[in-house]
Structure 1
Amino acid sequence: MNIKKMVTNTIVAALYVALTGVFSFMSFGAIQFRVSEMLNHLVFYNKNYKYGVLLGVFIANLFFSTLGPWDLIFGFGQTLISFLILERLFKPEDSETKGMMKTTLVFCLTMVFVAAELYLVLKLPFIFSFVTAAFGEAVVLIVSMPLMKYLNKLIGFAGKMA
């Protein structure tokens, strides 16, 4: 990975950590709206953004999660699995909207891992945790789509990883 990609991913990780920290009161638990998850959409523009997002997830969970190592394993794992699935699902002909909808769907479905964590660690009902975590994820990813499209027009996300 070249210096430009490393710096860009470091900025993405820092943004993820900062957004999670500022909104930590609503970023964890069965009912969560993790605003920083909007950065998951970056992977549609270039798969190399996954490194920054994954680093951000790891650091944010390390510093802000009350579930400690469990959130490092399950949260990081959920994000990694989602990105691996998306790498296979994204097609060059996908529109921004289609790519972002794929991202939303995959991240919502993989919230099953977060629900499993909440069931195992906090003994919360699995189905309730899955539905509420997936709902929060869907809200954040759908609401952030216009913002990410606008920022892409201003910044050109794909070009930042070239």
Structure 2
Amino acid sequence: MNTHFILRATMIAALYISITYALAPISYGPLQFRLSEALTVLPILYPEAIYGLFIGTLIANIFGGLGVWDIFGGSLATLIAAWLTYRFRSTIWAYVSPIIVNAFIVGGYLSILYAMPFWFTILSIGFSEAIIVFAIGYPLILVLKKYKL
């Protein structure tokens, strides 16, 4: 780890937190559309994004109001998804990993916390995650690759 690595991880964490808080009404709850999840594809290009996303999610969820479930469950989901994204970075699974992981882990505990039907919550989280990953995250990766940022 060098200064550049730590700085980029910190910037990713700060971006995740800022976007999540700026859009708090749609970032938290049983039906969410967390635009900061577009950053979950960054491990495709930057391994340090794994740390930045984990820390960003952890901090965003500490102040998100869902308590221990979201702090630990959401942060763990992000850590797993980020590692899988990095691991499968040259395949479509890099984009699919955060969708599946968040759908089942986050959707699972949200269905319990809000007493909502399990499969409805899983599909809702998965659908919103898929829209964000493919509509924002994928183009973000293309731009970063093109300009070698």
Q: Which of 89, 93, 100 is matched with 1:102 structurally?
A: 93
Alignment of 1:121-136 (within 5 A): 121-136=113-128
- Which portions of structure 1, spanning 4 or more consecutive aligned residues, are displaced by more than 6 angstroms? none
Amino acid in structure 2 at the alignment position of 1:75: G
Question: Conserved in 1, the CA contact under 8 Å of 2:19 and 2:36?
Answer: yes
- SS of the residue corresponding to residue 66 of structure 2 reads coil
Partners of 1:40 and 1:103 within 8 A in 2: no
Alignment of 1:75-90 (within 5 A): 75-90=74-89
Q: Which has the larger radius of gyration?
A: 1
Task: Name stretches of at least 5 consecutive residues in structure 2 with no aligned partner.
Answer: none
CA-CA distance at 1:86 after TM superposition: 3.2
Which runs of 5 or more structure 1 residues have no equivalent in the other structure? 158-162
Q: CA separation in 2, counterparts of 1:5 and 1:105?
A: 25
Q: Are the counterparts in 2 of residues 119 and 125 from structure 1 also a CA contact under 8 Å?
A: yes
Alpha-carbon shift at residue 88 of structure 1 (Å): 3.5
Indicate yes or no: 2:128 matched with 1:143.
no
- TM-score for the superposition, normalised by structure 1: 0.82
Give SS of 1:105's match: helix
Number of matched pairs: 147
Letter in 2 for 1:61: N
Is the aligned partner of 1:38 residue 2:41? no
The RMSD of aligned alpha carbons is 1.6
TM-score (norm. length: structure 2): 0.89
1:106-147, Cα deviation, whole Å (9 max, x unpaired): 112112011221122221111110000000000101111223
Distance 1:147 1:86, change over 3 A: closer
1:12 shift after superposition = 0.8
Identical-pair percentage: 31
Q: Which has the higher contact order (CA 8 A, sep 6+)?
A: 1
